[in-house]
Structure 1
Amino acid sequence: MTEDTKSISLLVIILDTNPSQRIIRQNPHHLTQCLDSIVAFGNAHLMQKAQNKLAVLACHHHATEYLYPMPGKPLEIRQTDGQYELFTLVEKTIKMNLAKIINTVPKINTPCESLLAGSVAMALCYIARINRTKQPGVKLNSRILVLTGSNECASQYMAYMNTFFTAQKQGVVLDVCALDKSLSLLQQGCDITGGQYLRLPILDGLLQYLLWVFLSEPQTRSKLVLPPKTKVDYRAACFCHRELIDIGYVCSVCLSIFCKFSPICTTCHTVFKNPAPLAVKTKKKKMKV
């Protein structure tokens, strides 16, 4: 067994399918465009090496579901139009499972945030399962790619931080492709895990940007000309209003963050004394000569 065959590259793609996204509300066909780009990008990853593996998750406002691979027995696909059978299997499985999710998802009247933190945690569990079942002596290089057009959701701040540091501990790289607005929390996750963050300038070039920025392995990205990294916004979200703040109060017991002083920590219920007023320095009187 050569050195090249001793390593497996596992790519887990998380696609945000929440209909509350602005790009989907404006044009529902954007979801189809993103799906076609994901299928082509996933097949390009599988084409690089025979040992490569792929998984695709759909993140919604109420749950996270597997699009590929299917739990249980896979589909029986025959070769059509000269296409590689594995590529046909990936395409048909993803599109069939996404159609089931769209038809069975409960309708919402008000916009809801996507459960991206839970999707990342689910991807980490899948990576851990593959790592346990791999053959002895085989190295698993795993990474997660998140594609979302949702807005920033500071209410999932603690869940985000838990998944980011878990991924860092497991050696999993997190990449993020923001389809709409800039996402500071996910940008922090990319910086913590050593991944690549990209805010897509135009949706029509999604596949080109995916192949350029995210197809290469993290070990070889230093040799490529990639978009320059932007400054990471490391502001934390307060536990009371779930908003990003610059200056706040931190509980010395559980490290919860609050934008205003509270005598009782709402997380661990520790009681604190009111802060004493700052002492005013008295000016020294000048001595008369």
Structure 2
Amino acid sequence: MAQDSDKEDRSLLVILLEAHQGLWSQLNPETDANGTEEPRHLTLAGFLQQVLVFINTFLSLSDANQVAVIGMTSTTSSVLYTSPSLLSSSPVANPVEVSSNPSHEVLANLTILLREEERQTGDAAQPAALSGGLSRGLCLINKAVSSARAGGKRSALPRVLCLQGSPDATQQYIAVMNSIFAAQRSEVVIDACMLSGSESTFLQQATHLTGGIYLRPKLRGALLQYLLTIYCGFTFSRSHLELPQPLGVDFRASCFCHRRAIDMGFVCSVCLSIFCENVPECSICGTCFSNAPRTPAAKRKVGSAFTD
């Protein structure tokens, strides 16, 4: 007897891929336990090959599983692939023939995205547009969930997997945090796999607030093993698995004036904007701050206003 597809465990996985050819070539070769360099370090081609195997494995776990792949460059983000069941609500933007083979479609659309990146800018070492990728992924998830509810079907469990190699771009702090809070409100789990040698404050906070998994692999050449053993299973099964636990989360914020991480700063009492310096006026909402000390008469006036 065939099992009802609406009763099956289903997941909607949105994968954010960083597609910087220049950045991937700058990743340092890995070293083994003896301190010698590993000859096969992670390149963009090797990265894509392992990710495509992971996607096909995830889709093979259940016929009800759905995948969307979003590519990120320094200037834009674009949908590279969506499962056929999502095409009606979230069509692929690039003009490539739709196929059920994610490998063909991802590579074809990624080629178009990289060509557009080279045409717009020659600096391929800029940080990825993480804020745009997260926003696009959450919009795709919201549209898919709304379409399922409108049709009277149970929506798939959504989650986002960020595969990033570039460091955080502090100028994206506001947009990234807004996306994280939106994901938390919508109960969307954000997982992160940081492929560079430095930690990502943005992704640490995203995984902590949404209940996801943050990982910085020690051996980038073995990325596929990390993806299959940690990120391939269903989210509800994680409580039964021994998964890597974060050693700590960097909760530092980025100031709105210079876009740099700070430990202490000044917060606007109206819009909650953060500044690293004591400024006379909020550059976000325009609120004027009175930095002059209050006179005894002014203090008595304020006190009487609260007691009346």
> TM-score over 0.5 for the alignment?
yes
Deviations 1:117-176 (A, max 9, x none): 110100011111111222414132000001011012111111011100101111111001
Deviations 1:170-204 (A, max 9, x none): 11110010000210111101111111000121211
Distance 1:110 1:216, change over 3 A: closer
Distance 1:29 1:201, change over 3 A: closer
| Counterpart mapping for 1:6-17 below 5 A | 6-17=8-19
Match of 1:124 in 2: 138
- Per the TM alignment, residue 239 of structure 1 is displaced from its structure 2 partner at its CA by 0.7
In structure 1, what residue type is equivalent to 2:52? V
1:268 has 2:285 as partner: yes
Q: Aligned equivalents of 1:91 and 1:270: distance in 2?
A: 52
- Per the TM alignment, residue 276 of structure 1 is displaced from its structure 2 partner at its CA by 3.7
Q: Aligned equivalents of 1:227 and 1:190: distance in 2?
A: 13
Distance 1:16 1:126, change over 3 A: same
Match of 1:152 in 2: 168
Deviations 1:30-84 (A, max 9, x none): 111111111111111111111000111100111111111362897476xxxxxxx
1:66 counterpart SS class: strand
In structure 1, what residue type is equivalent to 2:111? A
In structure 1, what residue type is equivalent to 2:102? V
| Counterpart mapping for 1:277-288 below 5 A | none
1:175 to 191, 195, 203: 191
Match of 1:249 in 2: 266
Distance 1:110 1:18, change over 3 A: closer
1:140 has 2:161 as partner: no
Match of 2:218 in 1: 201
CA contact 1:7–1:138 (8 Å) conserved in 2 = no
- Per the TM alignment, residue 95 of structure 1 is displaced from its structure 2 partner at its CA by 1.2
- Per the TM alignment, residue 273 of structure 1 is displaced from its structure 2 partner at its CA by 1.1
Query: Hey, which of these two has a bigger chunk of helix by percent?
Result: 2
Deviations 1:90-139 (A, max 9, x none): 11111111122223322414732211111010001111111122241413
Q: Aligned equivalents of 1:190 and 1:76: distance in 2?
A: 32
Aligned-residue Cα RMSD (Å) equals 2.3
Q: Aligned equivalents of 2:103 and 2:139: distance in 1?
A: 24
How many residue pairs align between the two structures?
Answer: 266
CA contact 1:146–1:177 (8 Å) conserved in 2 = yes
- Of stretches 31-40 and 128-137 in structure 1, the one that deviates more from structure 2 is 128-137
Q: Aligned equivalents of 1:128 and 1:145: distance in 2?
A: 16
1:216 has 2:233 as partner: yes
- Per the TM alignment, residue 275 of structure 1 is displaced from its structure 2 partner at its CA by 5.5
Structure 2: 5+ residue runs without aligned partners?
Answer: 29-40, 83-90, 295-308
2:46 to 14, 33, 40: 33
Q: Aligned equivalents of 2:154 and 2:116: distance in 1?
A: 39
Q: Aligned equivalents of 1:267 and 1:248: distance in 2?
A: 15
Q: Aligned equivalents of 2:152 and 2:248: distance in 1?
A: 41
Q: Aligned equivalents of 1:110 and 1:12: distance in 2?
A: 24
CA contact 1:20–1:112 (8 Å) conserved in 2 = no
1:46 to 56, 59, 62: 59
2:181 to 165, 169, 172: 165
| Counterpart mapping for 1:44-123 below 5 A | 44-69=57-82, 71=92, 75=97, 86=100, 89-105=101-117, 106=119, 107-109=121-123, 111-123=125-137
- Per the TM alignment, residue 269 of structure 1 is displaced from its structure 2 partner at its CA by 1.1
Q: Aligned equivalents of 1:109 and 1:127: distance in 2?
A: 31
What TM-score do the two structures reach when normalised by structure 2?
0.80
Q: Aligned equivalents of 2:98 and 2:237: distance in 1?
A: 36
1:43 counterpart SS class: helix
